[in-house]
Amino acid sequence: MSTTLEEKIRQFVKVYFKSKQGIITENGNVLTVTYPDTGETFEYTYEQAIARQTKAQLITVGSPAFQQILKECLEKGAPCQIQINPKENVEALIRSYFKDTLYECQNCFKLSTDKETIHICHRTQPCYHKINYGKIESVNISRSETSKYFLFYYSVVFQNKLRPKSEEQISILIDEKSNIFSCEEFNEDNFRNSAIEFQDTKSKLKPEVFDMLKTKVEEELITVLQEKVLLYDLSLGKEKKVKLRAFDKRLRRERREQVISKKHDFDYVKWQSNYEKLVKREEDSYVTSLSIRFINLLVINTTKLKFEIHLDNRATITGSFVLGINKPLETSCSICHTTITEGYATQDGLYVCGDCIRQSVDSGKCYSKKANLMFDKKLGEYIERDGGFICSVCGKKHSKLLEFKCSHDNSSICIYHYGTCDVCGKVFSKLNLTYTDEFERQMCPKHAKPRIEV
């Protein structure tokens, strides 16, 4: 048992005895607890050797005395229980997760260049939801309900004869409806969050509820451990094959020596049977063994919230989150309903993902796929129907990026119907250019030679 865990158990046990009005005296490694009301006296110890030599009850993870203490605590309230509340109003908390301006992620990776410092979020779950082309006008809480979560802690020791044993702590988060959640959603970052506060609280937890949740958690724990054992044994595969090959080689060498010695009749059938048993036993000796201990339970009392964020383009972002458990970073695109952590407020009053937007190349404004835009085949981009220009030659609408002005009458012409004067080099509409047979040139009205009629 680690020193930290042992200290926590001792501290917990002392608090438990004092809560029952017990008087504690310590004599070496033996703890004597006297209850003045009943006159009863009990002896406890944290050392297994002392528990075997005396009548003192052993207090350690998994011991009957410690399990009884936990059971009594669960009947009166969970050993570790907290209440999560926002320090300010919830609307301000949600605004801190949805950013409509350029935001620097202070806790993430910083890349400095000659001109600027770039902040890159390298976390699995982004630090905030990014809103493009829109501003937050208001945040409304549409629904609020209390919720309870349970965080189970287990200590698991992996042991294999090819590698020194290693201990790992595994946490599993479950709600009161037996739904399993990722523990990444409740991590140490929550305790550094200045927008929420944690308070100790007390409430009863029925033993049958605890047993039901623990059964579900241990089913999940088995699945997690199976994956971890596969990864643990993966690096041992080559060494295991070498060891088994050497063992097989030794057995066959011994058989050969027995055959050659001729001191006694060699029974091949018997040898083969013993050989298979020995090889199987050797293979089993390289199997990773696990030692699992339930070490703690944290009950989390919090609030589940549903909210609406209203943007200045008349769009609404809806979402939900559990205070302190996860962040309201994910919402869905209003067109394809894909879950996104970055969206775009469009001119037609929608909030969509990057795959569902169309941007006007003329104005730079952002629209959704549902908007009635025109497609410019030359650019392969979209333009607004009331934007662009109409070519004076072909009469078709084009993007302003393809607009040319005739130097003669300042008419608008597209990329398909303009030309340059071979004399002055200026841009003219093809209607204002004259084509000459002489040297096959085209000239503007100013430089075109007048025709001489015969």
pLDDT digits (tens, 9 = 90+) for 197-225: 888 787 777 888 888 999 999 999 999 98
- What is d(CA 277, CA 285) in angstroms, rounded to the nearest whole number? 12
pLDDT greater than 50 at residue 81: yes
Average pLDDT over residues 232-255: 82
Is residue 189 a part of any domain in this protein? yes
pLDDT at residue 439 in the model: 67
Q: For residue 199, what pLDDT is reported?
A: 82
Specify the pLDDT at position 122: 63
The answer to whether residues 16 and 162 belong to one domain is no
Whether residues 36 and 151 fall in one domain: no
Domain for residue 421, yes or no?
yes
**Percent above pLDDT 70 for the chain:** 89
Give pTM, 2 decimals.
0.60
Asked whether residue 453 carries a pLDDT value surpassing 50, the answer given is no
pLDDT bin (cut points 50, 70, 90) of residue 76 is low
**167-201 CB burial, b ≥16 within 10 A, e <16:** eeebebbbbeeeeebeeebbeeebeebebbeeeee
Q: How far, rounded to the nearest angstrom, does the alpha carbon of residue 268 sit from its chain's CA centroid?
A: 59
**Residue 284, amino acid:** D
Report the DSSP beta bridge partners of residue 389.
Answer: 398
Q: Are residues 222 and 256 in the same domain?
A: no
DSSP string, 406-428: -TTT--EE-TTSEEE-TTT--EE
Among the listed residues 218, 124, 175, the one whose alpha carbon sits nearest the alpha carbon of residue 325: 175
Same domain? For 25 and 102 the reply is: no
Confidence of residue 350 (pLDDT cuts 50, 70, 90): very high
**Would the pLDDT of 106 be above 70?**
no
User: Do the domain assignments include residue 66?
Assistant: yes
Residue whose entry in the numeric block shows the structure tokens 């894909």: 338
Same domain, 44 and 181: no
Query: Do 45 and 171 sit in the same domain of this protein?
Result: no
Q: Which of 57, 76, 95 is the last residue of a domain?
A: 76
51 in a structural domain: yes
In total, how many domains does the chain have?
A: 4
Domain boundary at 61, 76, 91, which? Answer: 76
pLDDT higher than threshold 50 for residue 226: yes
Residue type, 90: V
DSSP state of 33: E
162 and 192 part of one domain: yes
pLDDT of 217 reads: 93
Listed residues 58, 76, 94: the one ending a domain? 76
- 67 with 6, same domain? yes
Query: Where does the pLDDT of residue 261 fall: very low under 50, low under 70, confident under 90, or very high at 90 and above?
Result: confident
Asked which of 130-139, 146-155, 240-249 is least confident by mean pLDDT, the reply is 240-249
154/264 same-domain check: no
Cα dist from 109 to 245, 318, 342, 360, whole Å? 48, 30, 19, 34
| Token duo for residue 273 | 């049977």
Q: The tokens 């000659």 sit on which residue? A: 114
Do 166 and 188 fall within a single domain?
Answer: yes
Task: Answer yes or no: is pLDDT of 156 > 80.
Answer: yes
Q: Distance between CA 104 and CA 119 in Å, rounded?
A: 6
Instruction: With respect to residue 378, please indicate whether it lies within any of the assigned structural domains.
Output: no
- Residue 278 confidence (pLDDT) above 50: yes
- Tell me the average pLDDT across 168-176: 88
| Angle at the Cα of 272 from the Cα atoms of 267 and 276, rounded to 5 degrees | 150
Given a cut of 80, is residue 77 above it in pLDDT? no
Q: Estimate the crossing angle of helix 64-76 against helix 207-234, to 10 degrees.
A: 130
355-377 confidence digits (pLDDT tens): 999 888 888 888 998 888 888 77
Max mean pLDDT range (233-237, 386-390, 415-419, 450-454): 415-419
The answer to whether residue 343 sits within a structural domain is no
**190: pLDDT strictly greater than 70:** no
d(CA 293, CA 94): 39
The radius of gyration of the chain's CA atoms, rounded to the nearest angstrom, is 39
Residues 115 and 44 in one domain: no
Report the alpha-carbon angle 341-344-345, nearest 5: 130
Question: pLDDT averaged over the chain?
Answer: 82
Q: Is residue 347 part of a domain?
A: no
Q: Average pLDDT for residues 28-50, to the nearest whole number? A: 87
Angle between helices 64-76 and 3-19 (to 10 degrees): 60
Do residues 70 and 94 share a domain? no
Strand order in the sheet with 57-58: 23-27, 30-35, 40-45, 57-58
Q: Does residue 249 have a pLDDT over 80?
A: yes
Task: State mean pLDDT over 20-33.
Answer: 86
**Phi, psi for 17 (deg, rounded to 5):** -65, -40
Out of 101-115, 258-272, 373-387, pick the least confident: 101-115
The pLDDT, as a whole number, for residue 263 is 63
Lowest mean pLDDT among 102-106, 272-276, 363-367, 417-421: 102-106
34-48, 107-121, 152-166, 285-299: range with lowest mean pLDDT: 107-121
pLDDT at 311: 93
DSSP-derived letter for residue 440 is: G
pLDDT for 78 equals 56
Residue 146's Cβ-count burial label (10 Å; 0-12, 13-18, 19+) is exposed
356, part of any domain: no
CB atoms under 10 Å from CB of 385, counted, come to: 11
pLDDT value, residue 452: 46
Tell me the residue range of the domain where 189 lies.
78-132+147-236+294-301
pLDDT given for residue 377 in this prediction: 77
Long-range contacts, 327-334 (Cβ 8 Å, 24+): 327/97, 327/125, 328/94, 328/97, 328/98, 328/129, 329/97, 329/125, 329/126, 329/128, 329/129, 330/129, 331/129, 334/368
